[in-house]
Structure 1
Amino acid sequence: MHIIRLLLAASLVFYASAQTTDSSQTDSASASATATAADYATSGISYADDSSTITLSNSATISDISSAMATANATAAASSSASGNGTRSSSSPTQTLLVGTAQTTTTLNGTVTGTATRNTTASSTTTSIQPTNTVPCNGHPDFCQRKFSNITYVAAHNSPFVRQGNLAANQQLDVESQLNDGIRMLQFQTHLVNGTMYLCHTSCELLNAGTLEDYLSTVTKWLRAHPYDVVTVLMGNDDVVDPHNYTSPVIASGLIDFVYTPPTVPMPLDSWPTLAEMIFGNHRAVVMLDYQANQTAIPWLLDEFSQMWETPFSPTDRAFPCTADRPPDRPRENRLDRMYMANHNLNLQVDLAGISLLVPFFPLLNETNAITGYGSAGVAVSNCTEMWTRPPNFLLVDYYNIGSFNGSIFQVAADANNVTYNRDSCCGTAGTQSAAATNRLRLSGGIDTKMVFGLIVGLVWFLV
């Protein structure tokens, strides 16, 4: 039976590799894991009680960082005044100022528009001139003085799973391209195989993107080359294993040098530091685990559902209702004081012989990742903002580079953040080909024969 499964998995790999000329894209079928139709763990899971606050040890001391920033800024201001220059530049990244511009009076979390609030820089009543930004934070100077919890980030759903033609793929461009284009949350599934943590979608026989350590090493390399960016890594513990299985990949990859450790669990919205504080302290990687995280034992491995909540995962409804899903049974006042993620990756549900499969709805990507129109990300963010008085912190999407124009999803986030977006900055080396890639996934009747072939192979694999 196992041999038959491997043969079927190999046939799917052959099908996927036939769609690309790059032999390095071939999936490995050497590892195995239990196959499920869900995109996250559905059994053996539990949610922590976040009704009381726990103070963590070894946390980032933001008050000390703020004090150091104030001292540095005062010194820089004095130096600027002596030279008759209102700003200061330096060839040393460690001396770059990451502080606010002139302040004006607004509401606490932004400019109120109707019943909803857009993300923007929180301000005080002072109008005194402050030292200006010399380097943007996450690509925008305005973000430096905003709290991490007061920004909308674009998140790549199943970031590592880049396989042209493969049933289990969710992205077209690799993680380095994703980060270069502006993705600031990387989300994915993990599976423990023979003591090693792998990045596998549903099953390592279906799509194996390599080890977690190798993937995080690429992320770490990017962080070292981009010292003014903050990235969130959200890992799915699909095998519901002990969280200590994640410490070795984080340490060995070097990502441990950048992890942010919060002072408490949970973290209310106002407790999060500003991006400038995180950058100044070099705590630029927020690492989360969906299930089994234990922050008293591993303070830097954040328990996702204590720190934020999600709308329904793997959505199939084009209306994308902004109702709270995981964790369940939380009062509204609790959710209003936590970050949240809007899952905006439209799926096609296929039920065959009692097996339910969810695959990305390719033909509608141009509309799903668009700014306007029914089922668009722009409308979804607007609905969420009205319902929860603020935009989502994370906008989780498939094939982020495809939309009403290349990278339109970043325009949606920029609108939520009340900043500008350069449409010419996206996406990767394949961005100009995104529309053609989408069209190749369609037939005149709207049915994708490649998808159907993959579904048949996958179905047989599940049934054997």
Structure 2
Amino acid sequence: MRAACLLSLLAVGPVLAQNTNSNTDSDSLEQAISESLADIASSITTTIDEATIPTGDYLTYSTTVFLTDHGSVLGSTAVEVTETSGSENSTTSNATLTTTSDSVTVLMGGQTTITANGTNNITHTSTPTASQTPVVNTQPCNGYPEFCNRKYSNISMVAAHNSPFVMQGNVAANQALGVQYQLDDGVRMLQFQAHVANGTVNLCHTSCDMLNAGSLDDYLTSVASWMRQHPYDVITLLIGNYDYADPGNFTAAFESSGLMDLVFTPPMIPMGLDDWPTLGSIILSGKRALVFMDYQANQTAYPWLMDEFSQIWETPFSPTDRAFPCNVQRPPGLADNDARARMYMANHNLNIEFNIASLNLLIPNTALLNETNADTGYGSLGRMADNCTTRWNRAPNFLLVDYYNEGNFNGSVFEVAANLNNVSYDRDSCCGTLSAASSVVPRGMMTAVLMLVGVQILMSGF
């Protein structure tokens, strides 16, 4: 009953927020709301209970598995599947895999000098060519000619957390602008949560009753359309398999959307930090969409659908701590030397946590977006990037953020990525449309206030 009341509040939130915005005193009211929520958010120090962190099967490969040009598997090697619950691990099954690596032509990028930041930790650098007079490519790869001869694993990119969840006034939304805006502005990883029902994959946040962004097919069709118009860009997709569904459920959407024609198949499983090809070679191959899945990936059957956690580790999930510690949380128990041998993602999407009876609710902390997505300062993306670089002696590969278009200036999240990549960012290139970007945060504030009111109603026994 209480959960139903809460969902009702979520449903009416956008309407009430819109009506409030139409009042003559809306600007001053929303300013007061913003300041009030900022005070509340700053005082929250709770962290997510370990029980709320997603758990599932984590794969451990004892031997490298090589794939053919067509993605088929040859030979055999043991793959250990570990099911994690809390801090206990137990081996549950074994599988077999293998292969042959293929070669591709490499685009040449501009030659740069390896540099280090103030803490003597190396940030991303381009790989010099062997030639005395290197060929300089004037066609940018992911926006920068310098990236063409860098390994995919030697680049930091902005990742849109829950990319499809764009719905003004809905407390479960995570972005203000749609996927094509995101890609136009420079987002190069698209992360989302998928739910499978009756053979259809929909993009929903926790529950399809809370926020349903439509079918995976429609979303991927938009991504494929953009990619065909931008042949020099490499896009990464990270699927959150919320229902731990069989990966075969996802193939139809990739095929019907046309994105399967662009999907990258790795030459080996798993791909270590130094095994990834350059962006130029990926682009020349025509297979420019790299697809990862967090749980239940089966690369024996679907070599292109890459297992995330055997190749990427993550910092704490759904963070509520503004210090954003840069420690490994998933996969659990990963040794430092193993973490240093793979890519990693910095989760920098700040949340507020509400506990109502048995319901645990996290919502984006929109009150602090200007600080969370900033390039400098406490709690900022820039600060976390520096801390991560210091901790691991290399920069994060993926910077996962909410409302990427907000920050202490337009494009602040992209400036952070550019600094890590040792390139210059054009601040005039971001973000989306002014009207779309300027209205979402106050409405998000209003909805959050409605949520706080709803909490009081629910706790009073309504």
2:35 is matched with none
Tell me the C-alpha RMSD between the 2 structures: 2.9
2:151 is matched with 147
- Cα drift, residue 116 of structure 1: 0.8
- Cα drift, residue 100 of structure 1: 2.5
Instruction: Check 1:391–1:44 CA distance in 2 against 1; reply closer, same or farther (3 A cut).
Output: closer
1:362 is matched with 366
The 1-side partners of 2:315 and 2:434 are apart by 30
2:109 is aligned with 1:100: yes
2:123 is aligned with 1:118: yes
Check the 8 A contact 2:171/2:444 in 1, yes or no: no
Matches within 5 A, 1:302-341: 302-341=306-345
One-letter code aligned to 2:127: A
- Cα drift, residue 272 of structure 1: 0.3
2:65 is aligned with 1:65: no
Q: Deviations over 1:197-248 (max 9, x none)?
A: 0000010011000000110000000000000000000000000011100111
Q: Deviations over 1:121-161 (max 9, x none)?
A: 0225x462122212100001100010000000000000000
1:393 is matched with 397
Check the 8 A contact 2:347/2:400 in 1, yes or no: yes
One-letter code aligned to 1:449: V
2:251 is matched with 247
- Cα drift, residue 329 of structure 1: 1.3
Q: Deviations over 1:84-137 (max 9, x none)?
A: xxxxxxxxxxxxxx4223x46x55xx546533111010225x462122212100
**Helix, strand or coil at the partner of 2:59:** coil
Q: Deviations over 1:307-355 (max 9, x none)?
A: 1100001001000000001001121111101000000001111112232
Check the 8 A contact 1:62/1:277 in 2, yes or no: no
- Cα drift, residue 14 of structure 1: 3.5
1:192 is matched with 196
The 1-side partners of 2:409 and 2:57 are apart by 40
- Cα drift, residue 448 of structure 1: 4.2
Choose which of 407, 413, 424 in structure 2 pairs with 1:420.
Answer: 424
- Cα drift, residue 453 of structure 1: 4.8
2:449 is matched with 449
**Helix, strand or coil at the partner of 1:260:** coil
2:76 is matched with none
1:293 is matched with 297
Choose which of 161, 167, 175 in structure 1 pairs with 2:165.
Answer: 161
Q: Structure 1-normalised TM-score?
A: 0.81
Q: Structure 2-normalised TM-score?
A: 0.81
Instruction: Check 1:315–1:213 CA distance in 2 against 1; reply closer, same or farther (3 A cut).
Output: same
Choose which of 59, 75, 81 in structure 2 pairs with 1:48.
Answer: 59
- Cα drift, residue 285 of structure 1: 0.3
Instruction: Check 1:129–1:113 CA distance in 2 against 1; reply closer, same or farther (3 A cut).
Output: farther
Q: Deviations over 1:410-459 (max 9, x none)?
A: 0000000010111111110137853x64355558xxx94234256679x7
Identity of aligned residues (%): 52
**Helix, strand or coil at the partner of 1:356:** strand
Choose which of 270, 281, 284 in structure 2 pairs with 1:280.
Answer: 284
One-letter code aligned to 1:64: S
The 2-side partners of 1:218 and 1:437 are apart by 22
Check the 8 A contact 2:291/2:305 in 1, yes or no: yes
Check the 8 A contact 1:39/1:202 in 2, yes or no: no
- Cα drift, residue 39 of structure 1: 13
* Structure 1 ranges of 4+ moved more than 3 A: 4-11, 17-21, 37-44, 59-64, 110-115, 430-434, 436-443, 453-457
- Cα drift, residue 13 of structure 1: 2.5
- Cα drift, residue 11 of structure 1: 5.5
Choose which of 231, 238, 241 in structure 1 pairs with 2:242.
Answer: 238
Q: Deviations over 1:247-272 (max 9, x none)?
A: 11111111101111111111111110
Check the 8 A contact 1:288/1:303 in 2, yes or no: yes
The 2-side partners of 1:353 and 1:10 are apart by 17
The 2-side partners of 1:40 and 1:130 are apart by 53
- Cα drift, residue 41 of structure 1: 8.6
The 2-side partners of 1:181 and 1:291 are apart by 29
- Cα drift, residue 402 of structure 1: 0.5
1:438 is matched with 441
One-letter code aligned to 2:450: K
Count of residues in correspondence between the two structures: 405
Check the 8 A contact 1:342/1:395 in 2, yes or no: yes
Instruction: Check 1:256–1:134 CA distance in 2 against 1; reply closer, same or farther (3 A cut).
Output: same
One-letter code aligned to 2:298: N
Check the 8 A contact 1:227/1:279 in 2, yes or no: yes
- Cα drift, residue 16 of structure 1: 2.5
1:12 is matched with 10
**Helix, strand or coil at the partner of 1:227:** coil
Check the 8 A contact 1:186/1:233 in 2, yes or no: yes
The 2-side partners of 1:13 and 1:296 are apart by 42
Check the 8 A contact 1:19/1:164 in 2, yes or no: no
One-letter code aligned to 1:45: G
Instruction: Check 1:160–1:43 CA distance in 2 against 1; reply closer, same or farther (3 A cut).
Output: closer
One-letter code aligned to 1:118: T
